[in-house]
Structure 1
């Protein structure tokens, strides 16, 4: 199937043929407005060129580049991001905005990325980037601002288990997360696996998935199960791994203590149903992101249902907390359940329990207040584009934001996917 659209076309995934709408390959291509004539199922990416160091990298490395966010009037960590949203501004963490691969060993702001699908931040503030179409995971050092590849040789494929992650082949990784030890978890999307990089040795191995695309394996060992184009991944406070098993329209959990896998939500049949009932009896439609709120609940970006849903682990029940199911934009200042979303593909929870949503095709980041249930826009003016450093968050243009998270100070870190860059949104920045 060909994606027939110009680079700047605003195309809803709902217009794609039924048999491919739920393929994450189409998700990735359409989100960035991929050029006319690309074949989604048979996308073959040229190998990334050898990493090079930009001219003057040594001098650049010696230049202070990190923004002193601690000195800013940043109330986000204690009061939720909305406390400083009126004065929040955006700053580039990585990426020039030009697609491609370049820049390892130099400043991240001068590097080239190619479709940033997801981001994660460790306790030291280092940012990990799923540089999807470069088939790499890259790391931005919090102290120096330098970028390096930590997983992926740049060639699309599968190889490398048991060896250094930098020598392994990945296949369009769509998710990245960190466990409590600092190990890197990778949703190796088209390899239908979840892989892990040991933080001490740099060795990569498969943690979940046999590599065969399918849906079998519940209640067995995670390594033997079948996944279908997994994207979003998260780790709950107990160390269990949550997986958005996108092509299977399910949310799955790998128990830390036993390495057994089970389904938390989704029947495996795409559609919408089940609110108020058991998550395992509910229909999801291409979920692409998942997050735990620390109180025994799981948030799900139910992408093609234009909703965010919440599953209570204790009761097993699922409900919609944002989105009517109608595709569009509306509802700011009202209950989130009455709002319209457009294929949300990122979800996160802050320290207060507020829910952050990457409202992808509305080019906005929205927040649901944990007390009132009201939804507001916290980043993005709603038009597709690119804005520079220091732009007020509510005036900024985004280009199909995907994954998002928060750093230790409560600032939002966004995968600005269509702009091939990573942004930090700092509340209270002057």
Structure 2
């Protein structure tokens, strides 16, 4: 046993030993308890070996070290903070647990003696680039015309502040059509029609570690740009020509086709020309000066072709409206007053003379608008507005005497009238019959020369005031086509070297009197057929000759009054002779740049305007049938023909396939949606053709192409025999069309084109891709329908619409017989509503024997909510049309606030403005059209489309002017109604309505030969 003092000394020594023990072990080798030799603490390696590591956003990275020593422990730390639980030699960094940033990752190794060592990594948790599409931003496919281009733009960011790179691809590959630079790219199909279809544009943005991709679905098509960029409730022209080309600079080469025109009469202005247009019912002004012309409250730039009167549709308007908001009806002659800076217009069908004053306002100034031939309408000296001007054709203004001359061409009231406009107040203007009374009190037509007390005219046409103060005009009535002069010069007038003379105040004929073409003869023997135009060649106050068109022979003759030979259009015309100077003698069009006598023209027996401009030596002419305003340059020896405005066949029969933007039809009378193809069928009533418009691509193909009128069963759709198609509809992708009219003696039928879906239709077997009749008697007489027989053995009358209900029954509207017919799946026909042969307006039960009556039923459609039921338009030609609902279900139905009992028909809505020809429904919406071109003297409806919520009856959309608006219908002059809110656009003759599967509304404007689209608005 140690003593206490020794024990204390031992403990002190032992304590000192342990204090020095770590230093001893630091560099010394020791033995483990097992007896093996061990080294001191050391980290031999680290993985990854690099100190800077990038971990992808969806990835992970394993970190580890290999160390030796005694009793080693590990602690992983992040940004100098211990990571709980991470005490092994490895650590897994998972990006999902970290926000994008750069971190300091450290592992600390400690041995038994407390010695430590560590390793550190700089770890960046990567953030892939973030792409925000700027344009387009919509999730809908980007729509693009194949002749247009589209920009794509993104903003890209990277929270790691990495440099970004961009790669743009078209359908997964680089492409010359897609030009991308950095964050922007432009897709330009370059007019390559083969690119029409669906595509993907993509941009890949890389930060060097990860790539983010933004895709856009792109549909390249043949639709107008305005349709490809529609917003909800906006309207565009889906197919057909947009506008009439107002304010086009026709001095620019290639711009003539932009103008749509059916040119009529031509008159002179000091700075240009006025040209009447009987298709658009407007008057154009062409500024031929080198500066801007301010005329009729419009400013017209040099070279521009501008509408100065007329709204673009036929009709009649109240006085006091702006001239370009006022309706005209077939404007003919025009005359400019330099004194009052106003324009007189012969409003042909409206039987009146209107004036556009310098402030651009249009008013009626002469004639009462009738064709009445009474003493009161022909009293000399009576007020201008009390006179009748039956079909006023030509105008001539003598500002020296303040007299306006009017040729009235109505056959039984043919006359030349003169109006005294010297009074400053137009209401005090007076009128007199210059030629036509022949001593009586009413107009007497005829072709008699002499003094006014004896003289008569018969259908006077073009009227020209010569520099010699004489009136020259042509007439076409009484089987005599004449060039005539009324001498008001104050002296003797002599023509063709004295062959014809006229005393002052005498009417004389200057030409031959037949209506067949004769040329190469003396001027006094010249004959021409349908000479509706006239132009004078004048110089120095002398009349050197006359240009007269001949519809027969398709030529323009020059009657030489010069006294010496003269050459026009490459043709020499000897003194006092008549020869053709324009026209090859064949109807048609063979291009510009040809010699006058080698150029095909298409003159009209109705209208052929001519004007010779002495300063430019050009003969301007209205190539009516070719829809071109042209000229013959006589300053060139051989003469050259040039088109200034217009394009042949703006509407008319089209090829078997074409683009939506190039559609040329006569009238888009009816349309129908085909769900199976996402296409729109378009019926052209002018040619009895049906086209199929693919709503994805904008490509048109022909469904039906009429070639004759003697139909057969098994008809080919592209060699169809038909008479007067009236409507189209689709059933499971198969086309149904109806034929017949009140004036047609056969073909009152419904027929089906089997497109390959099915074999039997209402009891009739139809082979694929041929046509057979399913109702009515083919090539047999139309007649009153009798219920209870097979549909194909029953007479029918004027079938004008069809629809198939959910029970598979074919429902037909019989307009003449005033009833609705049902054909069941077996082909048995019966009366569904009304009493065939007895019209009226009586709500009652469905079926045979009911007291129900209806009037002029049309436009049958299926109810989208209750598909067993149908509805239609009644009284299509009346000022108050109605929607009639036929409830074939077993329960009452509430539509537009009206309860329709089961098994009954009922009128549920009145179109107060009337003249409705079409109805369409989709979901909660029911839309109805108003406005008809069938009679243009009155407004005939509001020319709009109204859509209603079927549950509340509240209006949800109006396309076109409101019912109460003073302007009823109109057209766009350029693009002013494209891509605008539908209520601000004008319509004219909305004849057909249809919805597609997305709820977009389509409107067929009949006589305007186009289809409009309104993007879903609710």
Correspondence for 1:384 = 650
Whether the aligned pair in 2 keeps the contact of 1:305 and 1:343 (CA below 8 Å) is no
Tell me, yes or no, if structure 1 residue 101 matches structure 2 residue 316.
Answer: yes
Describe how 1:19-168 pairs up with structure 2 within 5 A. 66-69=297-300, 72=301, 74=302, 88-124=303-339, 125-141=341-357, 143-158=358-373, 159-161=377-379, 162-168=381-387
Matched residue SS, 2:552 = helix
1:65 Cα offset (Å): 7.0
Matched residue SS, 1:273 = coil
**From 605, 609, 613, the counterpart of 1:346:** 609
Structure 1 runs not aligned, ≥5 long:
1-30, 34-63, 75-87, 392-417, 420-430
Inter-partner Cα distance in structure 2 for 1:289 and 1:101: 26
Worse-superposed segment, 186-195 or 308-317: 308-317
Whether the aligned pair in 2 keeps the contact of 1:347 and 1:358 (CA below 8 Å) is yes
**From 207, 227, 250, the counterpart of 2:457:** 227
Inter-partner Cα distance in structure 2 for 1:387 and 1:329: 28
Whether the aligned pair in 2 keeps the contact of 1:178 and 1:184 (CA below 8 Å) is yes
Whether the aligned pair in 1 keeps the contact of 2:555 and 2:601 (CA below 8 Å) is yes
Structure 2 CA distance for partners of 1:65 and 1:297, relative to 1, 3 Å: closer
**From 204, 207, 223, the counterpart of 2:431:** 204
Describe how 1:254-403 pairs up with structure 2 within 5 A. 254-256=486-488, 257=490, 258-265=504-511, 267-275=512-520, 277-295=521-539, 296-314=544-562, 315-344=575-604, 345-350=608-613, 351-372=615-636, 373-384=639-650, 388-389=973-974
Bigger proportion of residues as helix: 1
Inter-partner Cα distance in structure 2 for 1:316 and 1:111: 46
Higher relative contact order (CA 8 A, sep 6+): 1
**From 246, 250, 269, the counterpart of 2:482:** 250
1:90 Cα offset (Å): 2.6
The superposition leaves residues 385-430 of structure 1 with CA deviations (integer Å, 9 ceiling, x where unpaired) of 6872599xxxxxxxxxxxxxxxxxxxxxxxxxx99xxxxxxxxxxx
Inter-partner Cα distance in structure 1 for 2:590 and 2:630: 11
Structure 2 CA distance for partners of 1:123 and 1:251, relative to 1, 3 Å: same
Tell me, yes or no, if structure 1 residue 237 matches structure 2 residue 471.
Answer: no
Matched residue SS, 2:643 = strand
Inter-partner Cα distance in structure 1 for 2:334 and 2:551: 18
Tell me, yes or no, if structure 1 residue 171 matches structure 2 residue 390.
Answer: yes
Whether the aligned pair in 1 keeps the contact of 2:517 and 2:550 (CA below 8 Å) is no
Larger Rg: 2
Inter-partner Cα distance in structure 1 for 2:554 and 2:356: 32
Structure 2 CA distance for partners of 1:65 and 1:252, relative to 1, 3 Å: closer
1:313 Cα offset (Å): 2.0
Matched residue SS, 1:305 = coil
The superposition leaves residues 186-244 of structure 1 with CA deviations (integer Å, 9 ceiling, x where unpaired) of 01111211101012141111112333222222xx2145212111110001101110011
The superposition leaves residues 271-290 of structure 1 with CA deviations (integer Å, 9 ceiling, x where unpaired) of 11122x21221211010011
Matched residue SS, 2:622 = strand
Structure 2 CA distance for partners of 1:98 and 1:32, relative to 1, 3 Å: closer
The superposition leaves residues 296-318 of structure 1 with CA deviations (integer Å, 9 ceiling, x where unpaired) of 22121223332222112244321
Inter-partner Cα distance in structure 1 for 2:430 and 2:390: 17
Bigger proportion of residues as strand: 2
TM-score between both structures, scaled by the size of structure 1 = 0.68
Q: In angstroms, what is the RMSD of aligned CA positions?
A: 2.4
Whether the aligned pair in 2 keeps the contact of 1:235 and 1:292 (CA below 8 Å) is no
Matched residue SS, 1:361 = helix
The superposition leaves residues 241-263 of structure 1 with CA deviations (integer Å, 9 ceiling, x where unpaired) of 00111222010011112111111
Whether the aligned pair in 1 keeps the contact of 2:296 and 2:356 (CA below 8 Å) is no
Inter-partner Cα distance in structure 2 for 1:390 and 1:323: 36
Correspondence for 2:164 = none
Matched residue SS, 2:349 = helix
